[in-house]
A and B are shown apart, each in its own frame.
Chain A
């Protein structure tokens, strides 16, 4: 890979996607700063500076992913999948307990969350699987194989326990078999079975157990009592009003009502929405729409089936994160502890997001000419 070749690829990037990504990164750093802001003259929590570093590392990872040929990725997909499964097993055996869950590995010098890479690796493995299988003729076989490939990391992540991250795979897998071209009746059946099982499983639990499950879903995120963060987040967002209180003027995080542990991470959207209001909320939603739309455009213009499925799957993965996170902070969905891509503070997730976006753009830059 020469610098010239890289420059050629960069010039073929989707400018809208790149613009939206850079804006979201900037928003993230700005509002992580705000979340750490304690008032004039007081030291600001240093997360924003580290996030800037992560963004720069992420940019490098993004470019590396763009530069990697999709066919090379497809060849290595099973290896990546195998490595991520190994890491998931390792984290269960030798991971670090943080707040009652084993999610972190001390790999290299920093703690990493293997589940972040496992999600991407699973999408790539599924793309490889679905692009090579004669699924039109054998839909059920293909479905079972798909279930097996995605089920293994799902279970491993779910028992960490991190059911929120595991559950994010469900819409992604469904979107991929949809784009892969499985017959509509099969998809309809999957949807029907899923919809039937979900409430059955839920109603099988008593109210007390449901509460336990809610806490079990994510014991670390709710230290001050059930629903504290969700309630405070709703108050933060709601009190922002149509236009917000102004940058650095949010009070929920400053006063500790939105705990400083979650304000820059899972609840960063609350900070944005409190300070920038409904207008800011819509702006963020619009930027994610551009990013997701750009992924589907890459899928549309992909020169091979693997690229199409990988772009659609990774795009859906990012979209699902944004949807679940914002839905959670707005009180639509239970608190699951999923971060907001590109905006939330965190290294592992930043790198996996940027690699995903790089792979999507890698598909796009190698698009066929219409």
Chain B
């Protein structure tokens, strides 16, 4: 062995320099790692989350809707769909191989279920591109038998499972369609506060209570965080937030009153509204013809939509709140109140009705060409004498009549919690100038006095007028929502009704108008006597208004009513688009409604006053 060689000093220095260079190199690498892992770690964590996590919105169970007695109006039923889990069916290589595999499974399922396929190859491809981590729904709304057949073979078909969806059911179907409304598939709204990649099928209220209280009914959607792999297939679920179910609603509507009103209309185009004058509760609100909202779920088939849209009878149109018509003689109590409060007439005031009225050079006829003779206010209401009300309105002045009409809630929406409410129209001097570039004339006052001309009111507004008279001048605000039950709660939290608006009618004037309206129904010669029912003192006012082209005149028949006379808890308005007159055609309808209401009241276990 040769003698050991000791490293020279410069060699040691150079080795140390080399080691120093190595340490410097690692220091640079360490600094880069510090930047990545400590200084900017958050950015990379975000990047990681962004690329491998997908947010899925899970719709909440929609709240149910009940009538005031707890009868279901809108509920949810489970619907079964066949779901293909693509991450289990995926094939290596080109995407078309995965599509082929899905097709093969689809064919197998087709044979198994005995039902033709509902999706095409293009749908599979579209799903793979747009919603890859989500299950592909191949069949929707399967019946139990089909599910049973699938279950026998479930083990042989990997990647296939049953998914449950909620489908809206309307128990009252067409009987309460305009009140309850219907839902449609919601447009996916991607708001910034809760962004998501994929949404489930979500329902949104499209009309009626479903639409007005959509926010309450809808609840808060939950979410799932899906982890996807680099190819975009689902790998698992990271997290899940359960949705918060929507609140259940209890309406003021009484399904039995609703049924009675619908039965009374008997499919004739028109509308009927029953209010509780004490608080504005809408007990019944019917518009005929109607539609079956169950056909709208989960989505409205295009042909049905076209048929509904083009139907001349306009079944989608809610006549009770959106239909504005001249109220005709049912407006006369408003004129009476105006004249009484102005001191233009007194209970003793009497005018003679010769069957016509001379206004300047014009002759306006009363409906009874033979004339009513000497008329007091009470008798004029009973006979619906036009001439008396011409005198009264001209004596009171048009402004007083307009003020009285507006005070009773005409000319503006009643404030009911339904959408699409019409305001109606109370014509005044300004309106005449704007619309006709003309001054207000006495002829306009005469038209207004008997509810004709430009005056327009909805059946709901006229029900409010009936309620105002029933309450001797206190006006309720109609409402449909009676109670809300939050998810998990046992009982409904009652919703307070709006206080009545007191118009401070003179008590004697109120009494006079009410008595006149009682005579309409209760007197043997009252125009509304056909509305009378056994054992109940009711009051009302009929009306008939002509409309349509001159060669095909039709009568729109009206009647407003309230009962019982001494302590009214029903205020009613009914309109029929095609009637002989209010007294002959509509009064029997009101009678059938009153019969129904008092029969329901007599039923055991039922609180009559809500």
Contacts and interface: CB of A to CB of B under 8 A. Distances in A.
Contact of A296 (B15, B34, B47): B15
Given A285-B26, A289-B23, A273 B48 contact: no
Contacts of B10: 181
A302 B36 contact: no
Interface stretch (B37-45, B387-395, B485-493, B579-587): B37-45
Given A252-B48, A301-B7, A330-B36, A238 B26 contact: no
Interface stretch (B81-89, B225-233, B242-250, B361-369): B225-233
A278 B34 contact: yes
Interface stretch (A89-97, A115-123, A194-202, A239-247): A239-247
A259 B230 CA distance: 9
B14 A179 contact: yes
A332 interface: yes
B4 interface: yes
- Looking at B2, B37, B228, B236, the one whose CB has the most chain A CB atoms below 10 A away is B37
A302 B227 CA distance: 56
A238 B52 CA distance: 15
Given A175-B18, A178-B18, A323-B25, A281 B7 contact: no
Interface in B5-64: 5-7, 10-12, 14-15, 17-19, 22-23, 25-26, 28-30, 32-34, 36-38, 40-41, 43-45, 47-48, 51-52
B30 to A, nearest CB: 6
B227 A312 contact: no
Give chain B's interface secondary structure class: helix
A338 B461 CA distance: 85
Main secondary structure of the interface of A (DSSP, over half): helix
Contacts of B231: 256
B42 to A, nearest CB: 9
Contacts of B23: 289
A230 interface: no
A256 B232 CA distance: 10
Contacts of A234: 36, 44
From A239, A251, A285, A312, residue with most partner B Cβ within 10 Å? A239
Given A256-B230, A278-B33, A242 B41 contact: yes
Nearest to B8: A181
A187 to B, nearest CB: 10
A78 interface: no
B14 A368 contact: no
B44 A237 contact: yes
A285 B37 contact: no
Contacts of A238: 36-37, 40-41, 43-45, 47
B237 to A, nearest CB: 13
A257 interface: yes
B4 A368 contact: yes
Contacts of B15: 179, 296, 299-300, 312
Contact of A181 (B11, B17, B18): B11
A292 interface: yes
B228 A330 contact: no
Contacts of A330: 29, 32-33, 36
Interface string A202-246: 000000000000000000000000000000001111111110000
Interface string B282-323: 000000000000000000000000000000000000000000
B235 interface: yes
Q: How large is the interface on B (under 10, 10 to 19, 20 to 34, 35 or more residues)?
A: 35 or more
Contacts of A301: 7
Interface stretch (A103-111, A157-165, A303-311): A303-311
A236 B14 CA distance: 38
Interface string B390-418: 00000000000000000000000000000
Contact of B235 (A239, A255, A277): A255
B505 to A, nearest CB: 76
A278 B11 CA distance: 35
A241 B19 CA distance: 29
Most chain A CB neighbours (cut-off 10 Å) among B2, B19, B34: B19
Contacts of B2: 304
Contact of B37 (A281, A305, A323): A281
Contacts of A369: 4
Interface in A310-352: 312, 316, 319, 323, 326-327, 330-332
A282 interface: yes
A301 B36 CA distance: 39
A288 interface: yes
Contacts of B37: 237-238, 240-242, 273, 277-278, 281
A296 B22 CA distance: 11
B562 to A, nearest CB: 71
B26 A323 contact: yes
A300 B47 contact: no
Contacts of B47: 235, 238-239
Interface in A256-294: 256-257, 259, 273, 277-278, 281-282, 285, 288-289, 292-293
18 contacts: A237-B36, A239-B47, A240-B37, A255-B228, A273-B37, A278-B33, A278-B34, A285-B29, A303-B4, A303-B5, A305-B5, A308-B11, A312-B15, A319-B25, A326-B29, A330-B33, A331-B32, A332-B32
6 pairs of A and B residues whose beta carbons are closest in the complex? A238-B44, A368-B4, A256-B230, A278-B37, A239-B48, A238-B36
Given A237-B33, A299-B7, A330-B33, 17 more contacts: A178-B18, A235-B44, A235-B51, A236-B48, A237-B36, A237-B44, A238-B45, A239-B47, A278-B34, A282-B33, A285-B26, A289-B23, A289-B26, A292-B22, A296-B19, A302-B5, A368-B6
